[in-house]
Every structure is written in structure tokens, then in C-alpha cells.
Amino acid sequence: MPLAVYVLGLSVFALGTSEFMLSGLLQPVARDMGVSIPTAGLLISAFAIGMVVGAPVLAAATLRLPRRTTLMALLAVFGLGQIAGALAPSYGVLFASRVVSALACAGFWAVGAAVAVSLVPVNARATAMAVMVGGLSIANIAGVPAGAFLGQHAGWRAAFWAVAGLSALGLIGVVALVPRTEVPTGDDQPRLRTELRIYRDRQVWLALAATALSGGAVFCLFSYLGPLLTDVAGLDEGWVPTVLALFGVGALLGTVIGGRIADAHLFGTMFWGIVASTVVLSALALTAHSAVAAVSLALMLGFTAFFTAPALNARMFNLANAAPTLAGATNTSAFNIGNTVGPWLGGLVIDAGWGYPAVAWTGAALAGTGAVTTVGAMRLHRAAGASRVIASSPPAASYDPESQTSQRSTETR
């Protein structure tokens, strides 16, 4: 695996820490800003909304720019967004800073994913994406719990300052180690109209639906995991960083194992991972009052959620090989649509007075729907074969993830 892929994964660590650390900071943020916990939870949705909008928009806007330069600029904007959040005098300013940071994060994900898959053979894409997703996993192991710890002992603003520092380190890494790229010209020049053809394929839409439902299922519950642990399971607030770290451990294990399996058994990894998340969320809804069960199931949820992530990403790149930048951007948007809708639905359930266990049931329903969607995608894949978009695009590789047969792409950009 090229060193540049690991640098991208390390950069994602900073992005992921900012994206998810509010799960452990909801209570101090709510107290400081004078808002309810569901309202504070909307800050998570704000970041996700920025990701939804920013990924395709920035991918299209930067399509003809050097990718390394684009990554550097986006990391710089992201760091400034963290500083604005740390200095935010009101909830509105904090909300706006989250959206701006998310726009930069989305662009980095879209371009970074395209760079990562361009550096490896087509039959190693899930592994490359596992490295990038692994940055999120490590963020959950170290970054998110550290943010919660800082929030409890130095104030939640300290966590934002820490992420600003991490983004600066990521910027240094990209400058030093990601290869320079020139703007493609002639036949190799990317064209937005050509890349937009991916949206003609039903398989693309099914893949996006599976990604959105899978993300929504997990983060519907994860966004309110801290309050569930303290208010329902009866744990002290000081335990929240530890449990978040356990979720991250599960996420890292799931990413590593899922990434290795997905290159050979793509649909199996997607389906059984989402089914496992459905089971774990249902079990958590039934046993949320038990501290031991809640902690154990948080670890298991991290594993099942991130077990599917490399496969979901690789599936999209396999379908839309001729449009790698928009493929990564669109899948990022789909994941964050789930991250937006999930916490929003969870907030509605809480505001309705149904309690935090009902949030887990809501997540289980979303995951179950994602499993059904995956079955539909698998049947369509077997009936129709490769994506029509790939078949009609000369630069693309033909790749069957189930049989591990592949042909290296002739694309050079």
C-alpha cells in the first residue's frame, strides 16, 4: 500500500475526530449554550448536512484542479473552521462553523478517496478505502474519547482547539508525502457531463441507498450514546469517553477485517454486516438499562458498523469507475444523508418522550431496511452483470468483486 494512502488516512483522523466528537460533548455544549440535548444534537446533523452538500459541489468545482493542491486548501479551511468553533460566542455561530468545516471535510473525502483508489490496483480498492476509513476508526478510539475528556476537564472549546492542531499536522503530511499531480489535459481531462452519467444506473442508486441507511442506523443511536449511558444505563458521565473508545476499538477491528474480506466477498460483507448491526441495535434497545450490556453492545456496534464501510465505498467505485471523483463524493453524501437523518429521527423520538431505548429501535429499523436494499442490489447485479456505466466507458476497468476477476484500468489521471 503506498505511503500516501496512509497519509490520507491520518488526515481523515483529524476530520473524523471533529465529525464525531460532539457525541461525547453534547451535555457540556448544551449547558454552556443554554439549549436542550436534542438541539445540541443538531450540531451533528449540521456537520452531516455540510458533508451532503459539500461533497458533490466541491468535487465538481475542483474536478480540473490538481488534487494535491485541492487537498491542501481544504485542510486549511477545515482548520480555520475549528478555530471559529472554539471561539463561537453563540449557538448560531457554532452551528455555522460546523457547516463550514463540514464543507471542507466533504471535499477532502471526495478528492482523497479518488486519490487513494487511483494509487492501487482495482482489486485492492476496498483495502485502500479501509485505510481511509481506518482514520475514522482511530478517531473514535483516540480522538473522540480525548475530545470528551477535554470537554469534561478543560471545557468543550479545548477539544476544538485540539482538532485545529491535528488538521495542521495533516496539512503538513499532505504537503510532504502526497504525490504532486498536474491538471489533466486532452482526452484525459475530466468532464463533469461525462461523470454525471453514473446517475443513470439503478445499481448506483441502490448502492447509495444502502450507504445512507447503514450510516443512518448507526448514528441515530451513536449521536445519543452518551445520554443513553448516563440516563438509562446508569453510568457516571466520566465513563462516556471510555465507552466511546470501546466503540472505536470495535470500529477499527471491523474496518480491518471488513476491508480484507470485502475485496473477495463484497455483497456478503455488506449484507451480513448490516444484518449484524440490526441485531446489535435491537439487543441494545432491549437491554439498555444494563450497564454491562450497553457497554458490550457499544463495542459490537462499532465493529458491525465499520465492518461494512470499506465494502460500501468499494461498491460505489466499482460501479462508477469512469467517474472516480463524483463516485467518492456521491457516496460521501449518501453516508452523511444517513448521518443527518439518523440523529434527526433520534431527536424526534426523544422529544416525543419515548426514551433513549426507542432511538435504538429506530436505528434497527433503518438497518433492516438497508439489508433489504442490499439484497435487491445483489439480485440486480447478478441479473444484469456489470454496471452499464462501466460497460459504456472505455477508460474503466471491468471488475467482478465476487469472483475477484479484474482488469487494471488504463486511466492514467
Mean pLDDT, residues 204-216 taken together: 88
In the chain, where are the structural domains located? Answer: 3-180+190-402
Q: Which of 92-101, 136-145, 304-313, 383-392 has the highest mean pLDDT?
A: 92-101
Instruction: Note the pLDDT tens digit of each residue in 5-64.
Output: 888 888 888 888 887 788 778 888 888 888 888 788 788 777 877 877 777 777 777 777
| Residue burial 334-360, b: 16+ Cβ < 10 Å; e: rest | bbbbbbbbbbbbbbebbeeeebbbbbb
d(CA 17, CA 89): 22
Predicted local distance difference test score (pLDDT) of residue 194: 65
d(CA 379, CA 202): 12
Predicted local distance difference test score (pLDDT) of residue 263: 72
Mean pLDDT, residues 184-190 taken together: 55
Judged by DSSP in three states, 405 sits in strand
- Class of domain 3-180+190-402 (CATH, top level): mainly alpha
Average pLDDT, the chain: 79
What dihedral angle (degrees, nearest 10) is formed by the CA atoms of 282, 285, 290, 296?
40
